[in-house]
Structure 1
Amino acid sequence: MRPKACRPLWEARAQAATTSVASAWIPIARSEFAPPTEFLSFASYDSGEAEAYLSSLDKALTTCSSLSFPNSLGTRGTADVERVENKVALGDASVSFRMHWTVDQGKFKSDTFVLITSVRVGEATVTDVADMGVGNQLSAAKKRAFMPKVDPGMLKSQVVALREAQRH
């Protein structure tokens, strides 16, 4: 992953909380016949480290407008990155951002859009990663505005559960 300063963003997308003391993730499928397009990851941290983790995402977003990553085709892909203002205030702090890249396999082109929202609750985080792949049929204007859908009620319920778990 390049540049190195963007690594926290790619790790959040990959459900890899490398500074946590414990983590788990779960796929969410909107129907039993569809592949998962959304994942929730949970991580717990030593004192002060959850805040540092969210700060690392925030800092990376100030310097990373794009990043390069190895893809499944054996080449490198480039993702555009942009901060997204949170629509709902959750937890103690939160960071949201969108990634977008195009895969070009000769005659087939597709776009991938990813919305990542990480919420800190005390010394834990919950991160929602919503992926949406579409054929290359969107206009440039629609690509700039396209945003994967996240269920705000589900994310809010997980934040409430994390807060409650830390009280016991």
Structure 2
Amino acid sequence: MPGYIVTGTPRSSTDGGTSHADVRPKACRSLWDARARASTTSVASAWIPIARSVFAPPSQSLTFTSYGSGGAETYLASLDKAVDACSSLSFLASDGTRATGDVERVKNQVALGDASVSFRMHWKFDQDGFKSDTFVLVTTVRVGEATVTDVADASVGSQLSASKKRAFIPKVDPDMLNSQVAALRRAQSH
């Protein structure tokens, strides 16, 4: 991936699983799981943390997931439905408090693969007087019986105005994502 470096150890799983976060309402769980690299219906998955070669937020991870016959289409449809059903969700933060995040669909983010879903999550933290906002853009692209999910996280201090926070979306690099979609397509044709 020209212009990117691997920032951690790649990992893989053959059990899909779910994230360990306590997410409410349950109808929103699949959105959090997509962010956390988990899919209960997958056959196998692999993920890798990446960053641009030059300092440029956000931090990102790519997750490649394979499914049984019809599973990828069903999974993407469930994400699509959850985005429509969940305008907000709550989860247990690392400090044990319950945080609430807003969720909204992001249209026209990518036009790759067989189908795609993009959504933005946003929540605020106030830890010992330090206030920050976390923005996460999750983009899942289906190619045949597999998906690639790009999760872009950006945290900013409270210096952004309320209107800029409402409009802020971490950026997806369409060239990088397109190269990964093409790699998935090639892998499935063999």
- Structures share fold, TM-score greater than 0.5: yes
**TM-score (structure 1 length as normaliser):** 0.96
* Cα distance in 1, alignment partners of residues 161 and 69 from structure 2: 46
* Cα distance in 2, alignment partners of residues 37 and 20 from structure 1: 25
Q: Quote the residue 2:40 is aligned against.
A: 18
Structure 1: gaps (5+ residues):
none
Aligned with 2:77 (options 55, 59, 62): 55
* Cα distance in 2, alignment partners of residues 29 and 84 from structure 1: 22
CA deviation profile, 1:128-167 (whole Å, cap 9, x unmatched): 0000000011111000100112211000000001001100
* Cα distance in 2, alignment partners of residues 148 and 48 from structure 1: 31
* Cα distance in 1, alignment partners of residues 178 and 83 from structure 2: 23
- 1:96 offset after TM fit, Å? 0.2
Question: Is the 8 Å Cα contact of residues 86 and 95 (structure 1) preserved in structure 2?
Answer: no
* Cα distance in 2, alignment partners of residues 107 and 79 from structure 1: 19
Q: Quote the residue 2:175 is aligned against.
A: 153
Q: Quote the residue 1:67 is aligned against.
A: 89
CA deviation profile, 1:93-118 (whole Å, cap 9, x unmatched): 00000000000113210000000000
Alignment of 1:136 onto 2:158 = yes
Question: Is the 8 Å Cα contact of residues 27 and 36 (structure 1) preserved in structure 2?
Answer: no
* Cα distance in 2, alignment partners of residues 48 and 151 from structure 1: 28
> What is the number of equivalent residue pairs in this alignment?
168
* Cα distance in 1, alignment partners of residues 145 and 168 from structure 2: 32
Q: Which amino acid aligns with 1:55?
A: A
Alignment of 1:28 onto 2:39 = no
Q: Quote the residue 1:45 is aligned against.
A: 67
SS in structure 1 of the partner of residue 52 of structure 2: coil
RMSD of Structure 2 on Structure 1 (CA): 1.5
Q: Quote the residue 1:83 is aligned against.
A: 105
CA deviation profile, 1:41-88 (whole Å, cap 9, x unmatched): 000000001001001101101110000001011111111000000333
Q: Quote the residue 2:20 is aligned against.
A: none
Question: Is the 8 Å Cα contact of residues 28 and 36 (structure 1) preserved in structure 2?
Answer: no
* Cα distance in 1, alignment partners of residues 111 and 45 from structure 2: 23
Q: Quote the residue 1:93 is aligned against.
A: 115
- 1:15 offset after TM fit, Å? 0.9
Q: Which amino acid aligns with 1:158?
A: Q
Q: Quote the residue 1:118 is aligned against.
A: 140
